[in-house]
């Protein structure tokens, strides 16, 4: 079985002793910066000119500098801007300011695996990927816990790359919850597959298809919404807490029988073959090439597909119903950008 690394396995002083640059102050960037600061690190936030997030970083009590200056001042540079921005930022602002023995850290392996950035031989290249959105990484740290994370080494120039990754993981709370070792390839390919086939792509299409089936058969959209979207949370919570077994304990016997006979009619060998296609596109680089090309073309198709997705009738029904559910108003944004 896989080893779970905990606080005892980490030597935080390896990272705590020297300035850390956090490039980007969004979902992950803010959480990492704040947790590192509260763990006793000297943190410098690197942002571009006119950055809309700089004011927030300053209000949080952090030092903000241009990306190049932050990279120059630090011995570990965490690149926490969107994946598609890494290539340009790294080439122009970061690479020229790295010294022998510095480390570059990412929270997702895409840029490194697909060779969008290629740090020089003297630089440690490491990954620390929390398995949760940034605000959870911050909230869990604040209550003395943490979000589990993965760590990996791509290039060990100093002989301490692995210990540096573990140290960083511990400083953001990752080893309190438990850290697992992986490779850049495994983290990237499984993360992309998970969000495409199951978490974001698979789950929303399953919900939409269930909703459409009921509405097209003449049922009221509001009732279909409750059955196909709203109640999904209850089921996911049970799965999260105790797997299939716990879900079976809490749903009716009729629901279990229906699950057993009808689940495999919906998700079947054909679905598995499609999932394998999705995985193959990730493994052979087709997905990465398409996504990079889409960005280079100005994301026109991305915008069109997103607009179509958000104009599905379940969205209008959901907005109306959620407006009537007082208890939902406060935490609607908590699980945004989870993948
Ligand atoms: P965000 O989209 O939240 O990052 C926004 C930040 O990046 C802002 O501070 C923004 O500054 C800055 N930024 C954006 N573009 C540029 C640019 N071209 N030059 C300089 N700064 C820029 O990123 P995420 O936190 O979602 O993702 C960061 C990394 O973490 C990615 O590698 C992602 O795959 C990974 N990850 C994300 C998770 C998540 O929950 N979101 C989970 C695990 C990993 P400005 O104000 O100037 O726009
Ligand atoms: Mg089942
Ligand atoms: Mg992801």
> Is 61 inside any structural domain?
yes
Whether the Cβ atoms of residue 170 and residue 145 lie closer than 8 Å to each other: no
Catalytic residue annotation:
108
Task: Give the residue numbers spanning the domain of 320.
Answer: 192-328
> Is 31 inside any structural domain?
yes
pTM metric for this prediction: 0.93
Nearest atom in ligand 1 to the alpha carbon of residue 53 is 46
Final residue of a structural domain among 160, 182, 204: 182
**Tokens (6 digits) for 206:** 């399953």
Mutate to test the pocket of ligand 1, among 21, 22, 23, 24 (most ligand atoms within 8 A of CB): 24
Ligand nearest to the CA of 282: 3
Mean pLDDT over the full length of the chain = 96
What's residue 328's pLDDT? 74
Q: Looking at the structure, tell me whether residues 159 and 203 fall in a common domain.
A: no
Q: Looking at the structure, tell me whether residues 124 and 211 fall in a common domain.
A: no
Final residue of a structural domain among 182, 209, 233: 182
Domains held by the chain: number: 2
Final residue of a structural domain among 144, 159, 182: 182
pLDDT tens sequence across 50-99: 999 999 999 999 999 999 999 999 999 999 999 999 999 999 999 999 99
pLDDT tens sequence across 312-322: 999 999 999 99
Lining residues, ligand 1, CB within 6 Å: 24-29, 47-48, 51-53, 80-83, 85, 89, 106-108, 129-130, 133-134, 337-338
pLDDT tens sequence across 116-169: 999 999 999 999 999 999 999 999 999 999 999 999 999 999 999 999 999 999
**H helical segments located in the chain:** 13-16, 27-38, 54-59, 67-73, 86-89, 110-113, 134-142, 161-171, 174-177, 184-193, 201-216, 221-225, 232-250, 253-266, 269-283, 286-296, 300-310, 313-323
Q: What is the ipTM of this complex?
A: 0.98
Nearest atom in ligand 1 to the alpha carbon of residue 29 is 25
């Amino acid at each position: 079985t896989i080893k779970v690394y905990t606080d005892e396995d980490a030597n935080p002083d390896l990272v705590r002793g020297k300035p850390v640059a956090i490039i980007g102050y969004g979902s992950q960037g803010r959480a990492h910066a704040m947790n590192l600061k509260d763990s006793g690190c000297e943190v410098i936030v690197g942002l571009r000119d006119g950055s809309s997030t700089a004011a927030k970083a300053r209000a949080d009590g952090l030092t903000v500098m241009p990306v190049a200056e932050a990279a120059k001042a630090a011995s570990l540079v965490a690149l926490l801007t969107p994946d598609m921005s890494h290539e340009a930022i790294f080439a122009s602002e970061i690479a020229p300011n790295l010294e022998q023995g510095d480390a570059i850290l990412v929270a997702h392996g895409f840029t490194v695996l697909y060779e969008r950035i290629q740090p020089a031989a003297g630089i440690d290249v490491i990954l620390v990927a929390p398995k949760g959105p940034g605000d959870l990484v911050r909230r869990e740290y604040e209550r003395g816990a943490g979000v589990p994370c993965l760590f990996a080494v791509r290039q060990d120039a100093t002989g301490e790359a692995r210990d540096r990754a573990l140290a960083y993981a511990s400083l953001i709370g990752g080893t309190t919850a438990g850290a697992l070792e992986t490779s850049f390839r495994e983290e990237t390919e499984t993360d992309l597959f998970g969000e495409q086939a199951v978490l974001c792509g698979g789950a929303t299409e399953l919900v939409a298809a269930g909703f459409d089936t009921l509405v097209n058969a003449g049922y009221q959209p509001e009732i279909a919404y409750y059955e196909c979207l709203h109640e999904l949370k209850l089921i996911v919570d049970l799965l999260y807490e105790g797997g299939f077994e716990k879900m079976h304990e809490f749903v009716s016997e009729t629901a279990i029988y229906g699950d057993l006979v009808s689940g495999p009619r919906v998700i079947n060998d054909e679905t598995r073959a499609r999932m394998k296609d999705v995985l193959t596109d990730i493994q052979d680089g087709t997905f990465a090439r398409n996504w990079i090309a889409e960005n280079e073309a100005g994301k026109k198709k991305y915008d069109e597909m997103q607009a179509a997705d958000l104009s599905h009738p379940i969205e209008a029904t959901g907005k109306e119903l959620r407006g009537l559910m007082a208890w939902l108003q406060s935490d609607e944004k908590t699980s945004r950008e989870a993948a």
